[in-house]
């Protein structure tokens, strides 16, 4: 099938015509009871503790060396505190990288769309950084920005769906972005070319060496992407119900 091309300054801003689906939102687990005692109905009674009758008047109780004996009051040995050193203080987590405002970014929707692919390859990969980009409600969000001369995505799939509404799914054999490419991501899970699992977020950019050879089996939260041209091959689109 002949590739479909959108010349000029092409923009895929997470298909801003509809609000994209929420990624990674997990329902909080239902709280569990913290005890097994049901007040006023049933509570396990504690086992009786044997008691020792007090000594008769005038009979000294047991003594602890170094402490004076008090007539009629039994002395109790004190607990010994171990002198072993305490656990070392935990190492504090590094602070997130400061995000700079990306003045060249377009206005994106608030929540990333869901994108998957069998593989990503790059030419002219020039940088990975943490940026702030504007959103349609006037605020900003942090994003992981990947800049390159071109990016080719094989086995491309993009799902854009507002909560509880019908959405749009786009599939293509390949999607190629060419010329001044910037991809803005909320999160990425992938496999590196040497078989290592890779998870990327918006706190610390990864080294270029981990990404430059390309990535396999990629799932990402796509905030949006811009390029001089975007080309698809064998494209299919369909509406999905909630």
Give the tens place of pLDDT for each residue, 166-192.
889 999 999 999 999 999 999 899 999
In eight-state DSSP terms, residue 122 is: E
Give me the half-sphere count of Cα atoms (radius 13 Å) on the Cβ side of residue 222. Answer: 25
Smallest CA-to-CA distance from 209 within 192, 188, 186, 230 is with 192
Give the tens place of pLDDT for each residue, 55-74.
555 545 444 444 444 454 45
Specify if 36 maps to a domain: no
Specify if 207 maps to a domain: yes
Task: Check: CB of residue 145 under 8 Å from CB of residue 151.
Answer: no
Tell me: pLDDT of 132 over 90: yes
Domain count of the fold of the chain: 1
Tell me: pLDDT of 139 over 70: yes
Q: Which residue has the tokens 């929707």?
A: 109
Residue 171's beta-bridge partner residues? 157, 236
Specify if 236 maps to a domain: yes
pLDDT at residue 25, rounded to an integer: 29
Q: Percent of the chain, pLDDT > 70?
A: 60
pLDDT at residue 28, rounded to an integer: 32
176: CB partners within 8 A, 6+ apart: 150, 151, 152, 153, 230, 231, 232
pTM of the model: 0.61
Tell me: pLDDT of 18 over 70: no
Specify if 38 maps to a domain: no
Q: Across the chain, what does the average pLDDT equal?
A: 73
Specify if 33 maps to a domain: no
Alpha-carbon gap, residue 223 to 158, rounded angstroms: 11
Specify if 180 maps to a domain: yes
Specify if 115 maps to a domain: yes
C-alpha to C-alpha distances, 157 to 29, 69, 70, 160, nearest whole angstrom: 30, 83, 84, 10
Residue 151 sits in which domain range? Answer: 4-21+98-240
- Which is it for the CA torsion 211, 217, 220, 225, positive or negative? positive
Specify if 90 maps to a domain: no
C-alpha to C-alpha distances, 73 to 33, 49, 66, 68, 207, nearest whole angstrom: 43, 20, 16, 11, 71
Tell me: pLDDT of 23 over 80: no
More reliable by pLDDT, 142 or 79: 142
User: What's the token pair of residue 87?
Assistant: 């656990």
pLDDT at residue 223, rounded to an integer: 93
């Amino acid at each position: 099938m002949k590739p479909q091309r959108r010349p000029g300054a092409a923009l895929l801003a997470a298909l801003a015509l509809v609000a994209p689906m929420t990624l990674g939102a997990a329902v909080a687990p239902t709280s569990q009871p913290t005890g097994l005692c049901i007040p006023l109905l049933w509570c396990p009674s504690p086992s009786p503790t044997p008691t020792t009758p007090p000594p008769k008047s005038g009979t000294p109780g047991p003594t602890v060396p170094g402490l004076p004996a008090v007539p009629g009051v039994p002395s109790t040995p004190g607990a010994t505190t171990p002198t072993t050193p305490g656990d070392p203080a935990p190492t504090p987590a590094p602070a997130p990288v400061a995000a700079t405002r990306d003045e060249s970014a377009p206005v994106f929707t608030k929540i990333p769309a869901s994108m998957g692919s069998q593989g990503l390859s790059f030419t002219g990969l020039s940088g990975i950084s943490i940026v702030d980009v504007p959103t349609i409600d006037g605020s900003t969000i942090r994003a992981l920005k990947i800049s390159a001369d071109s990016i080719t995505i094989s086995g491309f799939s993009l799902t854009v769906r507002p909560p509880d509404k019908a959405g749009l799914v786009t599939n293509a054999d390949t999607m190629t972005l060419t010329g001044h490419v910037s991809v803005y991501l909320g999160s990425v899970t992938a496999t590196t070319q040497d078989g290592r699992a890779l998870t990327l977020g918006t706190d610390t950019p990864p080294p270029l060496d981990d990404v430059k050879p390309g990535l396999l089996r990629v799932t990402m939260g796509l905030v949006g992407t811009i390029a001089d041209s975007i080309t698809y091959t064998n494209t299919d689109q369909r509406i999905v119900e909630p």
